[in-house]
Amino acid sequence: MQDLAERIGEDFDRACSLCLACTGRIVVTGMGKSGHIGGKIAATLASTGSPAFFVHPGEASHGDLGMITATDLVMAVSYSGETQEIITILPLVKRLGVPLITLTGKRDSTLGRASDVVLDVGVREEACPLNLAPTASTTATLAMGDALAVALLESRGFTAEDFARSHPGGSLGRRLLLTVGDIMHTGEDVPRVSPGVTLSEGLLEMTRKGLGMTAVVDAAGRVVGIFTDGDLRRTLDTGVDIRATTMAEVTHPGCLTVTPATLAAEAVHIIEQNKITALLVVDEREHLIGALNIHDLFRAGVM
């Protein structure tokens, strides 16, 4: 890996420039172990803002070459640079006039000489004790492909939100795209009482709604505070009369709130940093519009 890092230079820059200039797709091809690495490189490129797919070189000479168009770029993965299945389709690739980038350990190979850019992934020896099985060389090739994908990602200004849009079914997508508005309780499911009601009435509201807290709102529906299960335990320890004490006397003013547009992942951070279990959701005028607790975040898969 250290040897590989020292080779990152003008060829790498040119490869990036060709990929960025490509108006079609990056078509990755490779045979055997190199093909497996090529498939992963194509998948990484596609998920980071560079449209790409893998074409098996054996299938390419039997019709799949039609997947490659004049606006595409071909990236060949072959450590020897002499993979026969790729050499066979090389004249057709050149006839299309598409750029060819080759990841190889043999710069002077047939593929190397025919390429617009060669990315040298050569290794001094394989990790295999026989120095035969592709091990160190496949690792180097994969690292070079990942480096290329990351460089392109940065050049394109690709964001975490962009990444999440291509991974909507994964946990990362949920963490990055899900908002508080997607999971909060609304309407009659939101516990709320006015400051003037008794503590006993507040407890009934907390019990009915089951979120472990209740919002305390003024006549206009603006949040003035919150009362939680923890507050209840501490209040009861003082021996207060729950039928004579009002919510105004026991409510925490200035509680933490979020908006519906707040990312669910950010809500998790707020809850963890402040060691709380619930949040109230307000609009731009501090009117109560929703609520959520830690269990909602667990169910949504963001904790």
Q: What is the pLDDT of residue 110?
A: 96
Q: Is the pLDDT of residue 174 over 80?
A: no
Quick one: what percent of the chain has pLDDT higher than 70?
Answer: 94
Q: pLDDT value at position 178?
A: 84
Q: What predicted TM-score, i.e. pTM, was given to this entire model?
A: 0.61
Q: Which CATH architecture has domain 2-158?
A: 3-Layer(aba) Sandwich (3.40)
Q: Could you tell me the residue ranges of all domains in the chain?
A: 2-158, 180-299
Question: Which pair of structure tokens corresponds to residue 18?
Answer: 């060709």
Write down the CATH number for the domain with range 180-299.
3.10.580.10
Check: CB of residue 55 under 8 Å from CB of residue 27: yes
DSSP 1: -
- CA Rg, the chain, in Å? 30
Residue spans of beta strands (DSSP E) within the chain: 26-30, 52-55, 73-77, 100-104, 117-120, 192-193, 213-217, 223-228, 252-253, 257-258, 278-282, 288-293
Burial of 262 (0-12, 13-18, 19+ CB in 10 A): middle
Q: For residue 300, how far is the Cα from the chain centroid?
A: 16
pLDDT for residue 65: 84
What's the confidence (pLDDT) of residue 50?
92
- Under DSSP, is residue 7 helix (H, G, I), strand (E, B) or coil? coil
Cα–Cα distance, 50 to 22 (Å, whole number)? 9
pLDDT at 214: 95
Q: pLDDT digit string (tens) for 33-51? A: 999 999 999 999 998 889 9
> Taking residues 125-137, what's their average pLDDT?
87
Query: For the chain, what's the residue count?
Result: 303
Q: Three-class SS of residue 169?
A: coil
Place of tokens 């990484």: 44
Average pLDDT estimate for 76-104: 94
**Residues 6 or more apart in contact with residue 224 via CB below 8 angstroms:** 195, 216, 217, 218, 251, 253
Query: Is pLDDT above 60 for 130?
Result: yes
pLDDT > 80? residue 303: no
Interatomic CA distance for residues 199 and 197, integer angstroms = 7
Q: What pLDDT score does 134 carry?
A: 86
Band (pLDDT 50/70/90 cuts) for residue 169 is: low
| pLDDT per residue as tens digits for the range 194-249 | 999 999 999 999 999 999 999 999 999 999 999 999 999 999 888 889 999 999 99
Helix (H/G/I), strand (E/B), else coil: 130: coil
Q: Which two tokens stand for residue 219?
A: 């006549």
Predicted confidence (pLDDT) at residue 8 exceeds the cutoff of 60: yes
